[in-house]
Copies of this chain bind each other. A is one copy, B any other.
Amino acid sequence: MGQKIQKYYIGVDIGGTKIVIALIDINGNVLFKKILSTELNLNKNVVIRNISEIIDEIKIIYKDINIIGIGIGSAGIVLYNKGIIKFSPNIGWRDFYIVSQLQKISKMRVVLDNDANAAAWGIFYLKYKSKYNNMLCVTLGTGVGGGFILNGKMFRGIDGTAGEIGHMTYIPDGLECPCGNKGCLERYVGKYGLNMLIDRHLKEEAQKSNLAKKSLLLDYKKENVIVDPKLLEAAAEKGDELALKIWIEFGEILGTAFATILNLLNLEAIHITGGIAHAQKFFEKALVDTIKRRAFSVPAETVKLIFEEKKQDMGVIGAGLLLEEL
């Protein structure tokens, strides 16, 4: 009596190629983890059955602990309030009523959010909730994902689709985006965007200077290597001047988008993680300078930029911790 019972959570992280299912505790420790692979047009009933089997396994192994429920983070368009994965482009699901189905089988509380929000919530909950009330968590990878914490809570908007910072319009008549828009930020700072920047710089510089000819990037392109952020970072690390220039432009583009977000929302912090974030030292100054030049002085001076390596299993941990939110 009077003893505080430790709480545990089942997290389910549904990505394009795999589903991670884990048992976690309130500090984000992973006690148990299993991975299912996914494929195109994977049958919904099969998925529900497979997830349920693993949940049953967890319940048997950990029969004496207090499991609060199941939190799901899923890629694609997720209707948070309705518990539906509306569209999952990589798997091909449409209108997957995953919450009601898992609830029926597991007899547990089930919540669902998109994967970017789940990861953002996990980062906030584990490390920043006593520090900040208003922050944006950005994942810079192949795409650009984001999640807003406003007034200390995950902010999802009315249907649950808020936080799509990769699909802010950066250039109104810019590059076509698969989302249907033109000039989305993601086209300029995602993996695709970096390669586009590299191609453009190589072309421009080839005409006016020796930078391109001396650049490692030209060698990669000649060998038809797709330059990923790691390779661009490695080139910069070696002092490749063109690579350094490209990282600066990358910082300026991201800074322009952040300045808009800060003028709109006057956030305390922006947390940056993901593959590209690792190259922080090459673009941080350009990012900060651009924010100072473009945003109003008060929000520009207030905001803290936090760069952090991606924590292993953050997706599934954040998904489980969604249950601590409401």
Contact = CB atoms under 8 A, between A and B. Distances in A.
Interface residues of A, number: 49
A38 interface: no
B256 A165 contact: no
A76 to B, nearest CB: 11
Given A161-B299, A299-B157, A299-B161, A169 B264 contact: no
Interface string A254-277: 001101110111111000000000
A266 B299 contact: no
Contacts of A161: 263, 266, 296, 298-299
Interface in A77-98: 77, 79, 86
Most buried by B among A153, A171, A260: A260
Contacts of A158: 133-134, 266-268, 302
A243 B273 CA distance: 47
Given A164-B264, A296-B77, A259 B181 contact: yes
Contacts of A165: 263-264
Interface string A275-295: 000000000000000000111
A75 to B, nearest CB: 14
A134 B157 contact: yes
Contacts of A182: 294
A155 interface: yes
Nearest to A165: B264
Given A134-B157, A157-B134, A162 B296 contact: no
Interface in A174-200: 179-182
A30 interface: no
A267 B79 CA distance: 14
A294 B180 contact: yes
A163 interface: yes
Contact of A298 (B79, B151, B295): B79
Interface string A131-161: 0011000000000000010110101111111
A159 B260 contact: no
Most buried by B among A77, A159, A253, A264: A264
Interface of A: 77, 79, 86, 133-134, 148, 150-151, 153, 155-165, 167-172, 179-182, 253, 256-257, 259-261, 263-268, 293-296, 298-299, 302
24 contacts: A79-B298, A86-B298, A133-B158, A148-B264, A150-B150, A151-B151, A151-B155, A155-B265, A157-B267, A158-B266, A159-B266, A159-B298, A159-B299, A162-B265, A162-B266, A164-B263, A164-B296, A165-B263, A167-B263, A169-B259, A169-B294, A171-B171, A180-B294, A261-B264
Closest 10 CB pairs of A and B: A157-B266, A162-B266, A164-B263, A181-B294, A168-B260, A161-B266, A167-B263, A158-B268, A161-B298, A159-B298
